[in-house]
Amino acid sequence: MHCPSEALLCERFQASRSTVRAAMAELQRLGMIERKQGAPTRILSSEPPTTYVHSMSVTGDLMQFAGPSWREVQEIVPLVADEQLAQRLGDRPGRRWVLIRQTRNIEQQSAPVGWTDIYLSEEYGQIAEKVKNYPGLIYVLLEDETNVIIHEIEQSIKAVPVPEDLASALQVAAGDHALELRRQYRDASNNSHMITLSILPAKHYTYEITLRRQA
């Protein structure tokens, strides 16, 4: 079941577009609706789900490695998302991307600590070659080179086996325990301009969070 458009909701409830968008964002946060770029908003439930979701806000980079780290770009290829890839990305099928495949390395360790597939919206593919020699965060490069401003980064983490095609590059056995990090980089209108999928072998990775109580 699909939700009416923003324009219809504004008319029905005599509300401004900003108010409707804020309400939709809250419904999405509660897990009651699903929104994807280029697709109608889907109603998932009339009540918030009973599952508990831990949500937090952070500033700066979402992941820091112990010691200096650097990327090694393995390949850059254009592609079109099929149904399976679109589901992994949380995006729509048929969308055109530039895929940047890279490893992340740290000092005093021969094996890469992770593999990241960076899906950059095709319209910004001109910056892909610059990623090879860029030492900073790629979304910062995207902002510097285009008119895109990243308003929100949504990160999800789940346990997965190391894919067979990445095992050799990561110097681990296929099927070993790993974490998959998906990050969606969105502007203020909730459009995803970049999505990353990282595979981090368990033996190289610990995720630590500090929660500090505010006065």
Q: Is residue 58 pLDDT above 50, yes or no? A: no
Query: What average pLDDT is seen over the chain?
Result: 85
Q: Is residue 47 pLDDT above 80, yes or no? A: no
Contact between 142 and 131 (Cβ < 8 Å): no
pTM, entire model? 0.68
- CATH code for position 15: 1.10.10.10
- CATH code for position 192: 3.40.1410.10
The domain in which residue 37 lies consists of 1-55
pLDDT tens, 151-197? 899 999 999 999 999 999 999 999 999 999 999 999 988 899 999 99
Query: What mean pLDDT is predicted for residues 106-121?
Result: 90
Parallel, antiparallel, or unpaired for β 42-43 and 152-161?
unpaired
Residue 81 lies in a domain: yes
Instruction: State whether residue 158 is helix, strand or coil.
Output: strand
